[in-house]
Amino acid sequence: MGQLNVPIGKIDVLFITHYHSDHVSGIPDVWLTGWLGPVFGRRKTPFHVIGPTGAKNLMSNLEKAYSLDTNIREVDEKLPSLGIAVNAEEFEKDGAVYEKDGVKVIAFEVDHGDAIKPSYGYRIEYKSHAAVISGDTRYNQNVIKYGTGADLLIHEVCIARPELMSFPFAKAILAHHTSPHDAGRVFAQAKPKLAAYTHLSFLSSEKIPEATVDDVVTQTRETYDGPLEVGEDLTSFEIGDTVTVHRWKP
């Protein structure tokens, strides 16, 4: 966010999709660093977190885990206590979970696996436009439902070379994610102005290399022939009458 010149302390609200560590382990950094005194921090209001059931438990335990740090900084650096407070909200079903200044965020349940619940995606609406984030999921009708007609549909994807398909670890991971072929089916039915990939999972072993981005695109094209972007770190999207993709340049 620093590279994009977005001060971390200016984040209005953080949305959680599910509680796998790779999706929540960065929260302490956002919460704590956004409170610090330099220009990238300076949050003076409570850190607002919205997520499915479990958000309050996560955040209250983080407050306990980092209490030594926060207590010290309040005394030593005179940082405002309100800026490190937490406002955690939870939801249990599909529906609007946030509305402010014309922005509306709708949560919808997805299917990341039988035991991985809760797990959600989000649809963000503003001035007749919409961006949809699938969250981690298998092929799922709810993504199609909430992604239909969106300006931007951002979907996860997972791929492995055919030689890897017999490996138990690969089978287990692939069973919890969406293949390029099936993601293409989602895009073809939802018909967004632009489809984009995030959370690209490339599986490999000691002897079998990862598939490539070209493989992802080729397999997606088996089921979808519309506009498609493969996400890279720091890519941003400008939504208007059309969707403009900005690739970050150092």
CATH code for the domain in which residue 161 is found? 3.60.15.10
**7 vs 34: CA distance, rounded Å:** 8
Of the three residues 42, 61, 92, the one that is the final residue of a domain is: 92
Instruction: Give the pLDDT confidence score for residue 13 in this predicted structure.
Output: 97
Instruction: Give the pLDDT confidence score for residue 83 in this predicted structure.
Output: 97
Q: With 0-12 CB in 10 A as exposed, 13-18 as middle and 19+ as buried, what is 29?
A: exposed
**110 vs 93: CA distance, rounded Å:** 11
pLDDT tens by residue, 123-177? 999 999 999 999 999 999 999 999 999 999 999 999 999 999 999 999 999 999 9
Instruction: Give the pLDDT confidence score for residue 250 in this predicted structure.
Output: 78
Instruction: Give the pLDDT confidence score for residue 249 in this predicted structure.
Output: 85
**238 vs 248: CA distance, rounded Å:** 13
Instruction: Give the pLDDT confidence score for residue 51 in this predicted structure.
Output: 98
- Domain check: are 122 and 22 in the same one? no
Q: Domain count of the chain? A: 2
Instruction: Give the pLDDT confidence score for residue 147 in this predicted structure.
Output: 98
**114 vs 87: CA distance, rounded Å:** 30
**217 vs 245: CA distance, rounded Å:** 17
Structural domain harbouring 245? 94-250
- Domain check: are 73 and 137 in the same one? no
Parts of the chain with a pLDDT under 70: none
- Domain check: are 107 and 198 in the same one? yes
